[in-house]
Structure 1
């Protein structure tokens, strides 16, 4: 739906905080800056919402930046900006020198990229897919930083700024929400204390008061690259006013303090938007084969039915069933 859609905003205004969530895929267009889509929606309905930014982008953007840093930007499908890439068009015209001797200075650049992919990117990608709840987002940031610290200094320096900018789940709202959902009593205690301090500062600290859910400009704070715990990931002592998690803003102070003894349970919204991207890919593929809306829908439905019919060999038992059905035994 468009930002100005007449049906979208009345529906969102009526919804409570548990359904007041937004998921974004393209970080710059959806959540970055005062004019981004997520900020515009919050301004329109007059309250803050839970932000669910695709967690996979936090992992993908540093890798993309590292490859560009090592190999240069791709100018087109067959043109490159790095020194060697610029020579590819004329490489066949160069004279062959039989006396050429190879000189190496440091590890090959491709080895740096390969090590980063295997030791950081793939591990974090798998971790995000397995623990996909948005309440795990800040822990994914810690997981990523832990493996990033094992990389050579050249690699860390190349991706450091990108990693800082793309750590959207390091926002105080997300960190405090994760701590409230933690099984660790100490983490819950810290989160409850910070929320109550914010309420006292805003003058709403009495037992029956609720949190401030008014609109705010959302800015991700500086992160500690050496952090090992959520408390050390950001400076919780200097977080901006109005950083209380949206899901606790509708709760009274008594209800918030109850999380000291029992962890908070939240809906298991996905922290990544790969399912949405799959839907977009399906529609794009259908559009390239058929024209009318009816035929596009039929094309997609046919694909879904075909995949349901196909066997899924997730275990030895499934494979054994396929063999038995084919052999008639």
Structure 2
């Protein structure tokens, strides 16, 4: 390099003293880049067209540019941070290469199968109907060689953006297509036919012959329908009531009914017709679960009562305890702060401040002691996690910074859990809270949240009376004026204080003599042999009881739990003879209806997407089947079993 430069100098001196000015200037400029040994000589490094092995790394661009111009930078010591970064990058590259060698064979697939032309119209079905994943990577031929080819994901990314598909759903769909090892192009009609076929297969495989417990709930949904006019078909939306039905104890979705009206008689008739049309026997039905609305639990004309009269036998009444836990809180809030003034507005001062409470800074607040049960927050919803954490924070007086930045949940008149979250969030943001705000926050921390999470940790119907007693016991701190608001609400909804439910709790008590006493009372109730179908009546609750089995007066007429019909009298007498030692086999049913609420949500989504009843049920069951085969898709390890 130096010899070459020296030779240029000698050649230039041959023209002395008449050396051209431009050549002299060029020679002098050459001395400044004498030691620029980079293979890339491009002036614009970002637009460099050199081969990859000759390109200057991006991290060196600033230094090279400086050395070719101002030359203010100097080479220093070893950059420890950058060295570690390069080392980690190399390790990741090695891991990717190792992982690629273990991946199944994948051929190049055009992502155009997930896209349509930009000028095509997007129908409601195409836009709203989510694609279900029915196959897993286990179907890949294990003998395939490990070949990984490049796939252009740009078009897939655009398609996902166009149709509003989430990253998770888009990755799942693309993974199924790549797994299939095919290069065939499919259109929406083929996919629609396959989905229809899959739904029919799943529906035919999930027929039930026996339902021990039926849980139901419903709502009015915006429902997609097809109407015909002048030989053309049009899609439109109508408001239609849907009642979702599930089988317990395994929370299996059975289907839904569409009653012509919301009366108990109409709904009960539709439930019976559903069982007959599906060829499901009602002979084994022993329990009914629902919320405590009057159309369900009316003493003479409710749905449960009418089913009992149709079957001519009593059923176990399991009325949702989570709904029941909200009712005293709701009445207390309305008594203190007033009722609502619109679909999203309140008439009271506290309710008006709840909308933007999460934007307020956290201030010093007075802690409120509580006794929360230990609970794993992994299997509960985001709103419930927030409630658990904010109650912990209020009880300790220390509010975590990350909790302050989280949302307490959407504001809705129908969601009392998120309203409790927002009341506590408002409480920790006000330096001098009002007496009304303190009263509500104290009730949430001391009563509402502990009972809610006690129900979540012990969800079996045998624990229902214990949860009811806990609610009554925790509310005794209230002044008389507020107890006069709360106690009538508890009395009207004390379904788990009925002897049929109390005997279940006593039969599974931790004390042997209580279990023995329960068995004796069941035997006594059997010996009475009632002449007519019993009428389910709420007992007068003893609010001063010291234990859950003292909630009622046992001198009144006692009937045995229908859920124990399968337990023979011989087994009960043996249980008494053993002084309550041992255990009787009982059907474990939930004391709440959250599984039905999930089914209601699924029916609502299907109603807006699919246009006929059979397709909707297949759509929902395909969703459930997909979730069972792949519960989550957060990373590639969730896709490969």
TM-score range, shorter chain: 0.7 to 0.9
Deviation at residue 281 of structure 1 after TM alignment: 1.3
Summarize deviations over 1:240-288 as a string: whole Å, max 9, x none: 25x1111334544333222323332312111111011111012213434
Seen in structure 2, the aligned counterparts of structure 1 residues 298 and 195 have a Cα distance that, compared at 3 Å, is closer
Q: CA RMSD in A?
A: 3.3
Mapped pair 1:167 → 2:436: no
Secondary structure in 2 matching 1:14:
coil
Distance 1:302 1:267, change over 3 A: closer
Number of residue pairs matched? 283
> Cα distance, 1:54 vs. partner?
1.0
Please show how residues 113-124 of structure 1 align to structure 2 within 5 Å: 113-124=440-451
Is 1:310 aligned to 2:638, yes or no? no
Q: Hey, what's the Cα distance between the residues in 2 that align with 1:236 and 1:278?
A: 38
Partner of 2:311: 45
TM-score between the two structures when normalised by the length of structure 2: 0.40
Q: For the Cα contact (< 8 Å) 1:127–1:140, is it kept in 2?
A: yes
Distance in 2 of aligned mates of 1:227 and 1:144: 12
Preserved contact between residue 314 and residue 562 of structure 2 (Cα < 8 Å): yes
Q: Aligned-pair distance for 1:182?
A: 2.1
Bigger mean CA deviation after superposition, 191-200 or 293-302: 293-302
- Correspondence for 2:547 among 223, 229, 234: 229
State the partner residue of 1:150.
477
Give the TM-score, by structure 1 length. 0.74
The equivalent residue for 1:266 is 586
Written as runs of structure 1 = structure 2, the 5 A alignment for 1:1-329 is: 2-4=267-269, 5-6=272-273, 8=275, 13-15=282-284, 19-77=285-343, 80=346, 108-200=435-527, 202=528, 215-237=533-555, 239-241=556-558, 243-260=559-576, 261=578, 262-289=582-609, 291-292=611-612, 294=615, 298=619, 301=622, 305=626, 308=630, 310=632
- The residue matched to 2:591 in structure 1 has which SS? coil
Taking the aligned partners of 2:283 and 2:483, their CA distance within structure 1 comes to: 46
Contact in 2 for aligned 1:49/1:246 (Cα 8 Å): yes
> Does structure 2 conserve the Cα–Cα contact (< 8 Å) formed by 1:47 and 1:214?
no
C-alpha contact 1:212 1:244 (8 A) present in aligned 2: no
How far residue 6 of structure 1 moved from its aligned partner, in angstroms, is 4.2
Q: Distance in 1 between matches of 2:334 and 2:318?
A: 27
The verdict on how the C-alpha distance between 1:199 and 1:282 changes in structure 2, with shifts beyond 3 A counting, is closer
Cα separation, partners in 2 of 1:197 and 1:111, compared to 1, 3 Å: same
For 1:299 and 1:197, locate their aligned partners in 2 and report how far apart those are by CA, in whole Å: 46
Shift of 1:183: 3.1
Return the alpha-carbon distance in structure 2 between the equivalents of residues 148 and 85 of structure 1: 23
Shift of 1:78: 5.1
Runs of 4+ in 1 over 6 A off after TM superposition: 83-86
Q: Which segments of 5 or more consecutive residues in structure 1 lack a partner in the other structure?
A: 87-105, 203-210, 313-321
Residues of 1 paired with 2:590 and 2:575: CA distance? Answer: 23
**Deviation for aligned residue 1:138:** 0.6
Contact 1:183 1:263 in 2 (8 A): no
- Structure 2: tracts of 5 or more residues without a match: 1-256, 258-266, 353-432
